[in-house]
């Protein structure tokens, strides 16, 4: 019996690389879709030791012809859509790119599956940013979505497209509504990696200050390898459904800073400053998430304590 074939769009990113690692360990054949296979950044795949164990193909998710040609060629059993713009901050500068890469890319893959009529399971990477500044906590899969960024608007559109294709056409199509999930594979434009990288520069004498935007934000932060396990469980379930993937614990950015500065042996009061010029036009200030559904139905929970996660980020531990 041939192994399951997984097509991962966005395989060169943090979550895509960890997912490829997990699926390869399970015996899957993994094919990665990236905008230009000949010049893609394979550094994360190499760090996880899987670069030579998979195939990369060029795939432009916003181009339906590219999508359907790729799906026809690969004939996957599973498709994971992890591509598209990943930065909330950047989405304010490039709102069209945000909508096109996330919402249109999701729709194109769903439509390709529908038209081809194949038994293909589909996973869409959603975001807890969709909930916006909600008035009632904790948030669940049934909570209203009030997006406050172009990124979140796009993720909402992708979420409801996935629901619609599941209900209207009977596709096995799911969304994992992911909270912030971190690892050393994050790019430096993400605040957690910016903090760690900047502290190392200060330690080395290459910088003397770390300037950030709004320090008074609260998030549910988790460990990316754990969240990839949740994605796998969602796609292996008997029935398609949407699940919130989160730790269920909220922490402030100031708390993250304090732990990281302690690990670096630096006085946060001496090196940290906040610049209002770095604030986003609109900001999700706080969030409290309740991942009871995935724990009760699929047996998954995030067990890594917040402080341990920060320590692993600081020490560049991949797992």
In 102-120, which positions are buried (b, 16+ CB within 10 angstroms) versus exposed (e)? bbbbbbbbbbbbbeeeeeb
Residue ranges of the domains in the chain?
5-182+221-249+289-303
Residues of the chain with pLDDT under 70: none
Which among 18, 80, 81, 151 is annotated as catalytic?
Answer: 151
- pLDDT score recorded for residue 220: 98
**Between helices 253-264 and 306-314, what is the axis angle to 10°?**
50
**Phi-psi domain of 248 (left: phi exceeds 0; alpha: psi -120 through 50; beta: other):** left
- Count Cβ neighbours within 10 Å for each residue of 63-82 and write b for 16 or more, e otherwise: ebebbbebbeebebbbbbbb
By DSSP bridging, strand 121-127 and strand 55-58 are unpaired
The number of CA neighbours under 13 Å toward the Cβ of 228 is 23
Torsion of CA 259, 262, 263, 264, to 10 degrees: 120
The whole-number pLDDT of residue 3 equals: 96
Structure tokens at 215: 């320090």
Active site residue 127: yes
Could you tell me which CATH class the domain 5-182+221-249+289-303 is placed in?
alpha beta
Which residue among the candidates 129, 179, 198, 247 is catalytic per the annotation?
129
Mark whether 169 is an active-site residue.
no
Q: What's the chain look like in SS3? A: CCCCEEEEECCCCHHHHHHHHHHHHCCCEEEEEECCCCCCCCHHHHHCCCHHHCEEEECCCCCHHHHHHHHHHHCCCEEEECCCCCCHHHHHHCHHHHHHHHHHHHHHHHHHHHHHCCCCEEEEEEEHHHHCCCCCCCECCCCCCCCCCHHHHHHHHHHHHHHHHHHHHCCCEEEEEECEEECCCCCCCCHHHHHHHHHHHHHCCCCCCEEECCCCCEECEEEHHHHHHHHHHHHHCCCCCCEEECCCCCEEHHHHHHHHHHHHCCCHHHHEEECHHHCCCCCCCCCCECCHHHHHHHCCCCCCCHHHHHHHHHCCCCC
The yes-or-no answer on residue 2 being catalytic is no
**Which residues make Cβ contacts (< 8 Å) with residue 283, sequence separation at least 6?**
148, 214, 217
C-alpha angle 9-13-17 in degrees, rounded to nearest 5: 85
* Catalytic-role residue among 98, 101, 127, 143: 127
Looking at residue 87, what is its pLDDT? 87
């Amino acid at each position: 019996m041939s192994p399951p074939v997984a097509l991962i769009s966005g395989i060169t990113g943090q979550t895509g690389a960890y997912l490829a690692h997990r699926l390869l360990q399970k015996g899957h054949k993994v094919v990665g879709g990236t905008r230009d296979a000949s010049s893609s950044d394979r550094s994360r795949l190499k760090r996880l030791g899987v670069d030579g164990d998979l195939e990369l193909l060029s795939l432009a998710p916003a181009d339906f012809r590219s999508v359907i040609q790729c799906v026809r060629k690969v004939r996957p059993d599973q498709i994971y859509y992890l591509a598209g713009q990943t930065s909330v901050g950047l989405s304010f500068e490039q709102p069209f790119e945000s909508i096109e890469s996330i919402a249109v890319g999701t729709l194109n893959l769903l439509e390709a599956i529908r038209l081809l009529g194949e038994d293909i399971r589909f996973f869409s990477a959603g975001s807890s940013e969709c909930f916006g500044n909600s008035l009632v906590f904790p948030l669940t899969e049934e909570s209203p979505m009030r997006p406050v960024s172009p990124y979140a608007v796009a993720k909402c559109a992708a979420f409801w497209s996935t629901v619609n294709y599941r209900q209207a056409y009977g596709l096995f199509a799911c969304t994992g509504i992911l909270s912030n999930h971190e690892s050393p594979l994050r790019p430096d434009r993400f605040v957690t990696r910016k903090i760690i990288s900047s502290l190392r520069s200060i330690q080395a004498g290459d910088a003397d200050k770390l300037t950030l935007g709004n320090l008074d934000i609260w998030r549910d932060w988790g460990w990316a390898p754990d969240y990839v396990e949740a994605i796998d469980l969602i796609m292996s379930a008997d029935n398609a459904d949407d699940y919130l993937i989160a730790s269920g614990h909220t922490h402030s950015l100031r708390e993250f800073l304090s732990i990281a500065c302690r690990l670096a042996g630096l006085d946060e009061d001496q090196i940290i400053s906040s610049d209002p010029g770095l604030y986003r036009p609109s900001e999700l200030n706080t969030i409290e998430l309740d991942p009871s559904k995935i724990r009760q139905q699929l047996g998954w929970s995030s067990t890594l304590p917040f402080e341990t996660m920060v320590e692993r980020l600081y020490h560049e531990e991949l797992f």
